[in-house]
Structure 1
């Protein structure tokens, strides 16, 4: 049963990590509703560590999906276009890194509760709808056109996800990109690149801190979770890029509001605890 639990959470992580719908919110609900199916109860520390593990599978999918593009980093010394792109990616990660180092633990301790996540989902959904309702012609259609200044702005907006758990890193970075003139595909792809560095670094640090807990989870559970998360996230990336080439993000806005309200209902009815998740 632990293996099935790991597979289900891997699927949830893979679907939600790069879609603008908050993997945190979905893992909270899935983890709580499925908690009774494990052979032995998973502690809060085990669940937190496992979420970091399966996030690693999703992050790896970005590297594999864009492996040809990532190999171009070797040419930054002689290719001005690649140099600007990767400079912009690194600059876009800086605000989240600074905020995470200074306030990450405090934010997790005081704000990492299901109700906070629910309201982040709802408010984020409303903001997505409002941004999509604007009639602004995008000026950036390829990520190579993103300037360091725009990248810094996107990175600053991305911090909404860190300041408000459940807002969604993907949603905040995509919204930031669209507000700064990127079209949907470009904003989405740049969000993937930022996620690879930002989430990759944060996950590595969390795994180092949680290494004592990993043995309790078990090798099989970790392999299943990582593998399933990787495959599902890889498929999700391709699907999202195809979707945004012909659709806007309004369906995700509606979905976020529905999930946020559902979480609040589950809390009100006692099905879901509102205790701190940190």
Structure 2
């Protein structure tokens, strides 16, 4: 990895982490095209710079993060399914993370779903005049169900934010509330993923050079700045316009990757 590659990957992370387009998928594809995907440090880098994206959520919503102990318990409940399934399927997940083809297929399938989501849950945006908060309340059971939806994102290219937002909408939440809870849930999820990746990295006897530490610092700073912009823009756009543009984007990108794989150069050996 060099500085250009570190900056490029950090920008991609910041833009895509909270959009329903799969940050992991984009990182896999980008690092594959840069021909650094198989490098152990690259795999660590793409996970650790999520800390910058985490900080963006905490800064933007800091009042919400200190509102009540009940809030933390709901995040914990939603986080548990990913912890359990992640530990049980760790080897399978690691194998999938090395497959750009899986990403391409997931992008297309997820894109088709996003084209339909606004119509499926249109009623969620219509607040009941007698109970105006009916579509913004999150119970413990709702949090748990959203947590199970988050597990779908263990398939690279699916999108953690997309899965959890749609999961929230299946529980009668409106788009904005579902998206914000998805952002909050990203904090323990990505922190946990980062901690595990660091543990595995150092546990394998690998060490960080001074230059690699610089890459991580730059990556986290850029991911933080870009994620701040992306989150604010996404919430505003999503509340007004919905998911269709993200669905079209996913389909176009996924189809392009499949065409490259089958007619130009196999993605698995980029």
Q: Tell me the TM-score normalised to structure 1 length.
A: 0.86
Is the CA contact 1:96–1:159 (under 8 Å) kept in the aligned structure 2? yes
Is the CA contact 1:46–1:213 (under 8 Å) kept in the aligned structure 2? no
2: CA distance between counterparts of 1:165 and 1:216? 30
| Helix, strand or coil at the partner of 2:268 | coil
Residues paired across the two proteins, number: 261
Aligned position for 1:95 = 81
Q: Which runs of 5+ in 2 are unaligned?
A: none
Matches within 5 A, 1:124-139: 124-134=110-120, 136-138=122-124
Higher mean C-alpha deviation, range 186-195 or range 143-152 = 143-152
Matches within 5 A, 1:19-168: 19-35=19-35, 43-73=38-68, 76=69, 83=70, 85-110=71-96, 112-134=98-120, 136-138=122-124, 145-162=137-154, 164-168=155-159
TM-superposed deviation, 1:29: 2.3
Q: Deviations over 1:169-223 (max 9, x none)?
A: 0110001011111101000000001111111111111122223253386222111
Aligned position for 2:187 = 196
TM-superposed deviation, 1:269: 4.0
Is the CA contact 1:54–1:226 (under 8 Å) kept in the aligned structure 2? yes
Out of 217, 222, 225, the residue aligned to residue 231 of structure 1 is 225
TM-superposed deviation, 1:59: 1.5
2: CA distance between counterparts of 1:15 and 1:111? 20
TM-superposed deviation, 1:3: 1.2
Q: CA RMSD in A?
A: 2.3
| Helix, strand or coil at the partner of 2:208 | helix
2: CA distance between counterparts of 1:113 and 1:244? 30
2: CA distance between counterparts of 1:144 and 1:86? 17
Q: Tell me the TM-score normalised to structure 2 length.
A: 0.88
1:177 matched to 2:172 = no
TM-superposed deviation, 1:87: 2.3
Q: Which runs of 5+ in 1 are unaligned?
A: 36-40, 77-82
1: CA distance between counterparts of 2:3 and 2:133? 43
Is the CA contact 2:136–2:177 (under 8 Å) kept in the aligned structure 1? no
